[in-house]
A = this chain, B = another copy of it.
Amino acid sequence: MATDTSAPGADPAPSDYVQPDVDVAALRRLLDGRYAEVRDLVRTNLAAYSSILEEAETLSTDDYRERVKELVVEMAATGQTGMGFPQEYGGGGDIGASVAAFETLAYGDLSVLVKVGVQFGLFGGAILQLGSKHHHDEYLADLITGRTMGCFAMTETGHGSNVQAIGTVATYDPDTQEFVIETRGEGSNKDYIGNAARHGELAVVFAQFEVGGRREGVHAFVVPLRRDGEVLPGVRIEDDGLKMGLNGVDNGRIWFDGVRVPRTALLNRFADVTPEGVYESPIENPNKRFFTMLGTLVQGRVCVGGAGINAAKVALTIAVRYGLRRRQFEATSEDEEELLLDYGQHQRRLFPLLARTYALHFAQEVIAAQLHEVFSETESTPDTEKNRRLLESRAAGTKALGTWHATRTIQECREACGGAGYLSVNRFAALKADTDVFTTFEGDNTVLLQLVAKGLLTDYASDFEDLDQLGMVRYVAGLAVETVLEKTNAHKLLERIKDVLPGGDEWDQESGLLDSEYQLAMYRYREEHMLGGVARRLKRGIDDEMNPGEVFSLVQDHVIGAARAHVERLVLEAFVDKVRELPDGDLKVALGLLCDLHALSGIEADRAWFMEHGRLTSQRSKAITREVSDLCRKIRPICEEYVDAFGVPPEMLRSPELVG
């Protein structure tokens, strides 16, 4: 509950510490990284279309939707939204660039962002990744320009995260060589589908593939929805109506009543059917096939995670600037009120979130690069099953942490701006309402963390899905803790932990709190211990002959905790690596402050766990709390530089009276 700030009278900083100067331009170059030019193009576009922030409030929902569509098409003409598509169709041929462009777009109106995501990421991505050349030839050029708008129709009212249970069916009819698309049963209509209520002419529809009475699992089909703006026969569409936010996107529900599409409508990269109705796929295991198809969604997750992190940057930029201008109560002087950010408590509210934003930024840079490499099939990271799995797991974890961080940061920043933060002109209203769904769309965060955990527990995440009761027993019984630990290189890590954390008396020494080896070792220890705990508990449940589902329900919290600990470790590593590779100098010192703050406030937040598991004495726990407060005080003089380096265009801040 209470956080322990440094005792009064304590030396605020050791004498060998020299406060760094921060070169904002250099820090921004570091943050922008490889795709600085792309990011600047998007910044320019955002500034050019900045009126959308106000239009979002003043236009009717219908007009706002049209305006957002216009913007998307106009931005597409600048090349900004098509960077991930092959050059022969008018794209930029650079997946990494497309992620950077998307992330940066999150500085602006988020309906525009999400519409771009639906059109180019989900719809376009499905055509590109699941289709063959004839699909590319038919659709890519027109969708890249926005001439053809499309939907990604996967989720159903009754089936969200559990995609394998969807009720839409595509039955192959060999007589006509067509598929018949059918919404079967209650709750099986598509729902929350972007571009459905108004602009979508085509949809990539996910449906159970049925041929000759046999089901082959979920596959994707290109299905026309509208022609010249009119909904086609057999298709029924309902508007999802007003939403908490993102009202510039036309989400809707879709029912199919015997809609016929040609055999070639199947996006057939991973499975096909012969004209006669024989099902064929190079991937024999149906589960593996399903997850391979779903794996193509990984880019969407990477993009949403990055968007969440960048939305948090907007909120922090406003709140930090406000805290450096707004005064409240005469605290240390009789004549003048104190700046908000000169209160320790206010620093404590904002700076750990600032540090975490930097940490997540660099973690996002790693996953975006990994995505680029796997999907571009570079030599260093070929598109192997193993690399895909690593990529998917890491993308899922980063998306969960990045979007939760956005929700939390935006809320804290809004409250830190008091009543002014409640006025729409000051951006928080839209930021909060629009990002809220990030935690549940493109994969619900808790479900995503369970995927991460399953990936950690076995080399083949998809195998876990396959297990029947007996299989579960065999699987878990055979899963000795050591095996799990070995798979994650724990033995090596444990050695390192032993080196760094000698235990015994030395636990109480102050030395080492700011040593990144110590910090990393703590994060690694937590990860290994939690993962081992999950495996032990699974085994014990099976030994007791419990229903595997019940066992899972009972260990679910541990599963999620282990996954989270794993991703937290990856995030910290990304930040530490980034700091280490910098040449000595002020920039390194300045970034190091944030890295230390991130690492230690993470340990502080979970200090109960570390104490419960013998890795933190109560004395050392209190020392960490003091160090966190001390780091906040060091960050205070340069906090504006840290947020300025995000490079949020001033037009995107609005907030004339808060940050002016």
Contacts and interface: CB of A to CB of B under 8 A. Distances in A.
B424 A344 contact: no
B553 A344 contact: yes
Interface in A31-51: none
Given A9-B544, A429-B433, A556-B5, A419 B549 contact: no
B344 A2 contact: no
A207 to B, nearest CB: 19
A618 B607 contact: no
Contacts of A240: 423
Contacts of A606: 1
Nearest to A550: B332
Given A7-B537, A8-B541, A418-B444, A1 B565 contact: yes
Interface string A611-646: 111100010011000000100000000000000000
* Residue of A4, A544, A557, A562 with most partner-chain B CB within 10 A: A557
Given A57-B242, A436-B422, A560 B155 contact: no
Given A554-B344, A611-B612, A614-B618, A436 B414 contact: yes
Contact of A328 (B157, B162, B243, B614): B162
A191 interface: yes
A320 B540 CA distance: 31
Contacts of A556: 5, 343-345
Interface string A1-42: 111111111000000000000000000000000000000000
A483 interface: no
Contacts of A432: 244, 432-433, 436
A279 interface: no
Contact of A546 (B8, B425, B444): B8
Given A537-B8, A553-B343, A561 B1 contact: yes
A342 B5 contact: no
* Residue of A1, A407, A433 with most partner-chain B CB within 10 A: A1
A343 B446 CA distance: 12
A342 B550 CA distance: 9
Contacts of A373: none
Contacts of A614: 618
A502 to B, nearest CB: 20
A424 B241 contact: yes
A329 interface: yes
Contacts of A607: 608, 612
* Residue of A2, A429, A609 with most partner-chain B CB within 10 A: A2
A552 interface: yes
A440 B422 contact: yes
Given A162-B329, A444-B418, A553-B331, A242 B544 contact: no
A281 interface: no
Contacts of A530: 2
Nearest to A60: B60
A612 B618 CA distance: 4
A419 B192 contact: yes
A557 B5 contact: yes
A411 B437 CA distance: 11
A554 B1 contact: no
Contacts of A3: 557, 561
B422 A242 contact: no
Interface in A420-458: 421-425, 428-429, 432-433, 436-437, 439-441, 444, 446
A592 interface: no
Contact of A332 (B415, B553, B564): B553
A421 B594 CA distance: 35
Nearest to A534: B2
Contacts of A621: 608, 611-612
A345 B446 contact: yes
A8 B544 CA distance: 8
A607 B608 CA distance: 6
A558 interface: yes
Contacts of A155: 419
A657 interface: yes
Interface in A571-595: none
Contacts of A191: 419
A644 to B, nearest CB: 25
A429 B243 contact: yes
Interface in A90-138: none
A293 interface: no
B9 A546 contact: yes
Contacts of A244: 414, 422-424, 428-429, 432-433
A425 B622 CA distance: 47
A564 B436 contact: no
Contacts of A550: 8, 331-332
B537 A241 contact: no
12 contacts: A1-B565, A4-B558, A240-B423, A243-B422, A244-B423, A244-B428, A245-B429, A330-B549, A332-B549, A342-B553, A608-B611, A613-B618
Given A7-B554, A8-B554, 11 more contacts: A1-B568, A9-B541, A192-B419, A244-B428, A332-B550, A332-B553, A338-B549, A345-B560, A348-B557, A411-B411, A608-B621
The 3 closest A-B pairs by CB, nearest first: A2-B561, A8-B541, A332-B549
